[in-house]
């Protein structure tokens, strides 16, 4: 430490580049990880929002109610494929 303090300021400044680069890489890795967790949380919320309507056992009691359910199912599948 004393050896570095006795060096000229530009030399001491240049000695910081490697530790700063390691710190940058660490922070960027954490940023990627947190972005993944945010995306995962968003997907889980999206799935939990749609799960009740997808797993419902109501198949319709008339032709019109069955067609409405079929249309809703097609909307869900279109949402997933796009």
Query: Is 71 a domain residue?
Result: no
Q: What is the pLDDT of residue 2?
A: 46
Q: Residue 38 falls within a domain, yes or no? A: yes
pTM: 0.56
Q: Mean pLDDT score of the chain, rounded to an integer? A: 84
In a domain, 30, yes or no: yes
Write out pLDDT tens, residues 43-80. Answer: 999 889 888 877 777 777 788 888 888 888 888 787 77
Number of structural domains the chain divides into = 1
Does residue 75 lie within any of the structural domains? Answer: no
Residue 24: band (very low, low, confident or very high) from pLDDT cuts 50, 70, 90: very high
Residue 51 lies in a domain: no
- The answer to the question of residue 16 being in a domain is yes
Q: Domain limits at 22?
A: 1-45
24 within 8 A of 31, measured Cβ to Cβ: no
Asked whether residue 24 is domain-assigned, the answer is yes
- Give me the mean pLDDT over the 32-40 stretch: 98
């Amino acid at each position: 430490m004393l050896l570095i303090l006795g060096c000229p300021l530009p030399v001491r400044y240049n000695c910081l580049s490697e530790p700063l680069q390691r710190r940058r890489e660490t922070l960027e890795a954490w940023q990627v990880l947190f972005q993944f967790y945010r995306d995962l949380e968003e997907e889980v919320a999206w799935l939990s929002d749609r799960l009740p309507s997808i797993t419902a056992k109501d198949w319709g009691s008339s032709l019109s109610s069955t067609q409405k359910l079929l249309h809703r199912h097609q909307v869900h599948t279109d949402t997933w494929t796009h």
